Structure 1
Amino acid sequence: MPGIAVVETVLKPKYIQSPPAPDQFQHNYIADIYTKWYRHYFYFCAKYCVPHPDAMVPFFEAKFSRLEYTGRERFNMSYMRHTGEWVNIYSDLAIEECLVAITEDSLFEP
């Protein structure tokens, strides 16, 4: 799947962060970016590290972009809004067009 190559060559180098120094403010940071299929959706996900010593969980996942397979090798593209709602932005795109949008359109950033 070409999406995996985009994750490895573009998204990971751009968004994965180093842990903050121990004397700095302990904020959540992106530790990994990956993709996964679920039914007819292909998700781009970020794994956030929660470095605070009293955190309830050490990591959590946030899906930030979704490709919905519509058939004929075409996809609808959505981003996760701050309200937790998926918002469809593009419809009926080829995979190559989707990957360009993932790398260039700020709506699809983690």
Structure 2
Amino acid sequence: MAKRERRWVRVKALTKEDKAAVTATCERFIAETLKPRFLPEIRPTQFNFPVDILGKWRGSKYSFITRYRSGYSDNPGAEFDSAFTRLDHVEESHSEIRFDMMWHRHTGQWWCLHSAVTLEEALRLIETEPMLQPIS
């Protein structure tokens, strides 16, 4: 197995204002693009089924998450979250905030698909690339 090349990047911590701006943009994207396209209505099943799409910060990483509800008879109504795409903050330029686009593999590992993209580019990639979208 090939070793992943390591590189050093300068990372400037996100301010509260930066995080608030990213959160507002991502929440608008979720409400106006992802939910209408991938979760127009909640369809209960006897298995796990999606009930919401949301976003959440964890340190300098913003995750896009699908919330599922169980339809199984032994734990009906139990809910859990499953992230499908993550934006890892990296800043190689002082002029704008940039992110690495991470894809959540079936193995539980995160894999970088795109490096150092702007928030606008990241949202466009989520909208157009099936690997970065929630399972519908």
User: What is the letter of the counterpart of residue 92 of structure 1?
Assistant: A
TM-score (norm 1): 0.88
Q: Is the 8 A contact 1:29 1:49 kept in 2?
A: yes
Which structure shows the higher strand fraction?
1
- Residue deviations 1:54-90, cap 9 Å, x none? 1287111001100011124011001100110101000
Structure 2: runs of 5+ lacking an equivalent? 1-23
Secondary structure in structure 2 of the residue aligned to 1:88: strand
User: What is the letter of the counterpart of residue 107 of structure 1?
Assistant: M
Percent of pairs with identical residues: 29
- Residue deviations 1:3-53, cap 9 Å, x none? 111100111112224233xxxx51211100000111110100010011122
TM-score (norm 2): 0.72
2:64 matched to 1:44? yes
Of residues 52, 55, 67, the one that matches 2:87 is: 67
Secondary structure in structure 1 of the residue aligned to 2:74: coil
User: What is the letter of the counterpart of residue 77 of structure 1?
Assistant: M
Q: Is the radius of gyration larger for structure 1 or structure 2?
A: 2
Q: CA RMSD in A?
A: 1.6
Which runs of at least 4 in structure 1 moved beyond 6 Å after TM superposition?
A: none
Work out the number of aligned pairs and report it: 106
2:125 matched to 1:101? yes
Q: Distance in 1 between matches of 2:42 and 2:81?
A: 17
Q: Is the 8 A contact 1:75 1:91 kept in 2?
A: yes
Q: Distance in 1 between matches of 2:114 and 2:120?
A: 13
Q: Distance in 2 between matches of 1:47 and 1:2?
A: 20
Q: Is the 8 A contact 1:26 1:51 kept in 2?
A: yes
Q: Distance in 2 between matches of 1:81 and 1:56?
A: 27
